[in-house]
Chain A
Amino acid sequence: MREWLIQLRKSKQLTQQQVASRCFIERSYYSQIERGKRNPSTHVAKIIGEVLGFNPLKFFKNDLDFSFNEYKKLSSEKNPHENMLDYIKYLEYGRIVYLYNSIQKYYKHLFTYLLIGIKDKRHCIIIDNNKNYCLLKKRLESVYTNKEIENFVHHINIDISNHDVESVIQNVQYLLAKLNDNECIYFWIHKEKMWQNSLWEKLDETDINYIKVLAVQAFNASLISGGEHIKLMKKYPLLMTDEEIVTSPFFNSNPNSLILPSLYIQENI
């Protein structure tokens, strides 16, 4: 809730409709901005600032102190690495982008992910090549029985489903149809091949969106560019490396996110 905005509007004895009309926006949109449900674009922020007489960056600036303090608090906690398992253990759903440098650490994290999944009796859908899966299965067999692994770990081999997003989605839907609606699913997608580029977006369009899904999409960090990395940070709320999990600073809906316009856009506000 943007109490400061509500108070400012009331101090000028204006209704939401009056402010919205002067800003050439819908009253419902303005109401959502006041309630904190939506963030205005820089253009709309500028107009509201002009109408009500305040610095438009105040839409973002109130969060600046909070997120700065929050950042300081997180920085002073123990090594973020030690919190990584906690992150995964207590997350029922979420989206994580994992950019790995070391294949050994990739295996280690995938193994941990599956260990937690099986221990908590959550179904794990692994979309990866056959070599990686066989390695992981061998490690899992030292901890769990074959039956436990087969019950909870489902592998979709990207080597077989070559150039075919649709067959992967069909496989996923087939698996999901066998599960209880309330079950939390773990997804792990290793993006190696070009045809996988649209995979998560297509999966999101299916029923998978409506169930509890904790999804990790893993990329080799040396094979994607800085520009692509930024695009990924805008799509995923959590950013994982070989050493830690942090909130993505570019994900708009993160509660502590503070995304300001770049310098020249601020100058033009």
Chain B
Amino acid sequence: MSELINLTKYLKIENAAHILYTFECKENYINNMIAYIKAGIEMGHHLLIIENSNTYKQVEEKIKSFFSVQEQMSIHYLDNYLFYGYYGNFRMNNIIEHFREVLTPFLNNQINVRTWAHVEWQEQNDIFAKIEEFEKLADYSVSKMKLMSVCAYDASDICASLHINMMRTHEYIMTDKEFVKSSLYRVFIK
């Protein structure tokens, strides 16, 4: 079992934790992201934020008002359109490999890093099946790299079928107002 660390000032969870965040309200989404960043910085962790540029502009304004220049240097941003290949097919192996490449310098230098990724995609065939497989690989990677990782999805962009399958690959489920343990985590169809 990984060590327990603070997710927030009140709640400790295992260091390797895969959290699914299904959001409905943008304002609450940004507030939850800021709270996640704040908790990470207080723990001395770096943050990797994978987000679309429009939303990140709003997040950046809050970051500049809440965190010192020094603290802001711990926050690293990647454009999710480029990261998830929004302009092309959702290639899960490439995405996972890219994720590992980005994190390797932190891990090699023993820098604790937690990630927040807003997953978006271009309309394409079998996208939900691809996302389901992707999240299985991601859960394995997060566990192996001992990361705390939030995967955020717009609740209106995914169907219940995909949401249920993602409950199998994420130990914790968050909504705009709630945080629970998934009752389907690692319960897979044989």
Check B159–A249 contact: CB distance below 8 A.
no
Q: Closest residue to B153 on the A side, CB-wise? A: A226
Indicate with 1 or 0, residue by residue over A219-261, a CB within 8 angstroms of chain B CB atoms: 1011111111110100000010111101111100000011111
Contacts of A61 in B (CB 8 A): 11
- With contacts A68-B181, A79-B190 taken as known, whether A228 is within 8 angstroms of B160 at the C-beta atoms is yes
CA distance A244 to B156 in the complex (A): 25
CA distance A138 to B31 in the complex (A): 55
Partner of B175, one of A225, A248, A262: A262
CA distance A79 to B187 in the complex (A): 8
Check B160–A99 contact: CB distance below 8 A.
yes
Check B38–A75 contact: CB distance below 8 A.
no
CA distance A56 to B10 in the complex (A): 8
CA distance A81 to B190 in the complex (A): 10
- With contacts A57-B11, A222-B159, A246-B183 taken as known, whether A264 is within 8 angstroms of B32 at the C-beta atoms is yes
CA distance A8 to B158 in the complex (A): 45
**Nearest CB in chain A: distance from B181 CB, A:** 6
Segment touching A, from B79-87, B99-107, B161-169: B161-169
For the complex, is A130 an interface residue (Cβ under 8 Å from B)? Answer: no
Interface size on B, residues (CB 8 A): 42
Partner of A221, one of B10, B153, B159, B179: B159
CA distance A246 to B9 in the complex (A): 30
Check A222–B161 contact: CB distance below 8 A.
yes
Check A262–B10 contact: CB distance below 8 A.
no
Check B175–A99 contact: CB distance below 8 A.
no
**Nearest CB in chain B: distance from A207 CB, A:** 31
Contacts of B11 in A (CB 8 A): 57, 61, 260, 266
**Nearest CB in chain A: distance from B95 CB, A:** 20
Check B187–A264 contact: CB distance below 8 A.
no
Check A226–B179 contact: CB distance below 8 A.
no
CA distance A81 to B163 in the complex (A): 19
Check A249–B180 contact: CB distance below 8 A.
yes
Check B39–A263 contact: CB distance below 8 A.
yes
Check B181–A226 contact: CB distance below 8 A.
no
Interface residues of A (CB under 8 A from B): 55-57, 61, 67-68, 71, 75, 79-81, 99, 101, 219, 221-230, 232, 239, 241-244, 246-250, 257-267, 269
Interface residues of B (CB under 8 A from A): 7-11, 22, 24, 28, 31-32, 34-36, 38-39, 153, 155-164, 173-184, 186-187, 189-190
